[in-house]
Amino acid sequence: MSRLVKNILWLNMAVVAVLTFVYADLMVSPGHVITGHKDIQGDCFACHTLFVGATDSKCIECHKVKDIGIRTTRGAVMFKDLGKVPVAFHQKLPEQECVACHSDHAGIAIYRARFKFSHALLDGETRKDCVACHAKPQDKIHEKASTKCSQCHTDEKWKPATFKHELLAAADLAQCTSCHQASTPKDKLHETSSKKCGLCHLTDKWKPVDFKHEKLPRADLEQCGACHTAHKPKDKVHEKASDKCGLCHLTEKWKPATFKHDLLPKAELEQCASCHKKPTDKLHQSASEKCGQCHVTEKWKPAIFKHEALPRAELRQCVNCHANKAPNDERHRAASKRCGNCHYTNRWEPAKRRDVDPLGARSTAPANGGGGWFGGNGGDDD
């Protein structure tokens, strides 16, 4: 690099350095200063120290700590109501950098940093004096309330205001409407109800509303429709049903509605299709409406088939019902449709094979003499 080029570079750097010091607000400023500092817009060194930046010592030259929040830098009182002096919480802050919460530059909007005040910076006593900074609510509940908000509320957040219900006496805790008048349900059910919500509801939370069903007499507990009129099913099954839900259902929970099948006569218990939709597959098209003739009726699902109710000859013909489950490998393609010739038919899985002679014409009973539902001899009944 030639000497001329080097001299030009050094000269440019010198010019930039001089401009930076002389016109710092144009060369290195992060943006316009805040409104309160507009009088010193071009005087960077009023707040900044060379090679150090903005320091607390520079801030308190103008902003005296004892006057922060009370008087301006020119000594003028900042509040109009002389009877109410705002809290000077800056005086009780532990040592903190001013720039931790404040910035002397407004900056460019899209790059502007948002400072959020942390109450953790305050000492314990100041943190409890919420109304010194925040306006006390003007509603009826707070008219006679203490200004020590922490007696009733947590001080973690201003909104939502979390109330300490555990501080209330048991008698007051049941009187929810004393505070929650506007939130009291306006439905027909609550028109004549007691104002003591705790008689019927748990008072740990306003929502969800947990009703104390266990406090109702047994006779009332079955009369679900007295309260749950809007929830009563409108289907065909319930059109002529009694309003005493407890006659047919367990009343511990509204959902799921557990039906008391054991209360039905045995004859009706087999007529499942009266309430339940009958399967529409090919197997059930010509089946009887009396499900109990073929199935166990303790549960709708899984549907347990009573294989023992079938005649012995039909019991071997598994593929009549289980066609889609029949094995399709090479061994079974040429096998007889009578599964019982080779297998025990007391279970579909696991498929237990019976002893078969080399020609596959005759099966022999196992050593223990058991033969599934066929007895000892499993040959064809030709």
- Structure-token pair, residue 162: 């979390």
Instruction: Answer yes or no: do 205 and 220 share one domain.
Output: no
Instruction: Answer yes or no: do 95 and 35 share one domain.
Output: yes
Position 123 scores a pLDDT of: 75
- Structure-token pair, residue 175: 């009187």
Instruction: Answer yes or no: do 35 and 119 share one domain.
Output: yes
Is residue 5 domain-resident? no
Task: Output the pTM of the full model.
Answer: 0.37
CA-wise closest residue to 303 among 328, 284, 324, 327: 284
Q: In this structure, is the dihedral angle defined by the CA atoms of residues 271, 276, 277 and 283, taken in order, positive or negative?
A: negative
Instruction: Answer yes or no: do 252 and 326 share one domain.
Output: no
Is residue 8 domain-resident? no
SS3 362: coil
Is residue 278 domain-resident? no
Instruction: Answer yes or no: do 46 and 63 share one domain.
Output: yes
Per-residue pLDDT of the chain (382 residues; tens, 9 = 90+): 788 888 888 888 888 887 766 666 666 667 777 888 888 877 888 888 877 878 888 888 888 888 887 788 888 877 665 555 566 678 777 666 787 777 777 765 545 555 667 777 777 777 778 887 788 888 887 888 888 888 888 777 777 778 888 878 877 777 787 778 777 788 777 887 778 887 788 777 777 778 888 777 777 777 887 777 777 888 877 887 887 888 888 877 777 878 888 777 877 777 887 778 888 888 788 788 888 888 887 777 788 888 887 777 777 778 778 877 788 888 888 888 888 888 877 777 788 887 754 334 443 433 333 333 333 333 333 3
Instruction: Answer yes or no: do 221 and 205 share one domain.
Output: no
Instruction: Answer yes or no: do 42 and 118 share one domain.
Output: yes
Is residue 161 domain-resident? yes
Is residue 351 domain-resident? yes
**Boundary residue ending a domain (96, 128, 160):** 128
- Structure-token pair, residue 56: 């607390």
CA distances from 307 to 118, 313, 345, 350, 365 (A): 74, 12, 9, 16, 21
Is residue 297 domain-resident? no
Position 114 scores a pLDDT of: 58
Is residue 313 domain-resident? yes
- Structure-token pair, residue 57: 């010592």
- Structure-token pair, residue 6: 């080097």
DSSP 218-248: HHHHT-GGGT-GGGS--SGGGTT--S-GGGT
Instruction: Answer yes or no: do 147 and 111 share one domain.
Output: no
Instruction: Answer yes or no: do 59 and 78 share one domain.
Output: yes
**326: which DSSP letter?**
S
Instruction: Kindly calculate the radius of gyration of the chain based on its CA atoms and give it in whole angstroms.
Output: 43
**Contacts (Cβ under 8 Å, ≥6 apart) of 49:** 55, 58
Strands 355-356 and 363-364: antiparallel
Is residue 44 domain-resident? yes
A 10 A CB-CB count for 57 gives 10
> Domain of 201?
140-209
Instruction: Answer yes or no: do 111 and 80 share one domain.
Output: yes
Instruction: Answer yes or no: do 101 and 166 share one domain.
Output: no
Instruction: Answer yes or no: do 117 and 44 share one domain.
Output: yes
The count of domains in the chain is 4
